[in-house]
Amino acid sequence: MGAFAPGAWTLTAEFSDRLLARLADAKFVVAFTGAGVSAESGVPTFRGAEGIWKKSKPEELASMNAFMKNPALVWEWYAHRKKLIASIQPNRSHTALVRMEQMFQQFAIITQNIDNLHRRAGSRTVYELHGNIERNYCITCGRPQTNEEVLRQPGVPRCPACGGLVRPDVVWFGEFLPEDQWDASVRAAESADVFISIGTSGVVYPAASLPVMAKLRGAFLVEVNPEPTPLTERADEFLQGASGGIMSALVARLSAGKSGPPLTEQSLQS
């Protein structure tokens, strides 16, 4: 597709015949999303210079060690993040993926984002590799607590059932990914006809291995990103730009295609 300004994407953007044909034939489409998908909503990355919160880096707050050492500090940080995230809205990328879910026989989102924006937008099949900031649980008995219950309590929230410490249901540094979410993600990657990696740097493992897994099992691999990543050279198609514009243009193109004769690999060859 070559280089062009991300701003060049409009609802009339051109997509390759190969990509449109693969999507027209696809029964199972998987979208794999990262921070870039939430960026347009204004979700702060908590990385880099603006990631410093009270002189602490995320690595120093998002771990079990940090939590056991100073639960009040870690909770102050999460209360701040929870309020920020509750105040923002899903964007065009999230909406486009909701529409895609309605277009294909099978569709799944695998997300590394914890902001819950896919579900808030209306997506149904969402595998959350790094947890969900709207959920919490007791580290002693596992009882879940809503954000409302947690934020109502001053200081460090406690479990009403056993008095144990309550933590956010997000994956911290040094922790394993939730097994059920990972297993479901691997199954989806291995069954996908088209796998679209969107707004993810492709460097956080094991999540970053999913696109390659999909490709090895025969999926057509698409990457949507403002900049090339380590995944780009393996992608069958690289769509360069911010995801909101590209994904809404793609969905508009697919919807338009539904009214015309179906585009298939065969019709391209003939």
Please give the residue ranges that form the binding site for Zn ion (CB under 5 A): 138, 140-141, 143, 159, 161-162, 164
Give the 3-state secondary structure of residue 121.
helix
Closest contact distance (angstroms) between CB of 69 and Zn ion is 21
| Residue among 101 and 169 whose Cβ is closer to Zn ion | 169
| Residue among 52 and 68 whose Cβ is closer to Zn ion | 68
Closest contact distance (angstroms) between CB of 141 and Zn ion is 3
The residue ranges of DSSP E strands in the chain, in sequence order, are 28-33, 106-111, 126-128, 131-138, 144-146, 166-170, 194-198, 220-225, 237-240
Closest contact distance (angstroms) between CB of 145 and Zn ion is 9
Determine the Cα–Cα distance for residues 183 and 181; give it in Å rounded to an integer: 6
Closest contact distance (angstroms) between CB of 156 and Zn ion is 13
| Residue among 113 and 136 whose Cβ is closer to Zn ion | 136
Q: Which two tokens stand for residue 148?
A: 């409302």
| Residue among 160 and 174 whose Cβ is closer to Zn ion | 160
Note if 130 is an active site residue. Answer: yes
Helices within 70-134 (DSSP H only): 71-86, 92-103, 117-121
> 205 pairs with which residues across the strands?
none
113 near 174, Cβ under 8 Å? Answer: no
Catalytic residues: 130
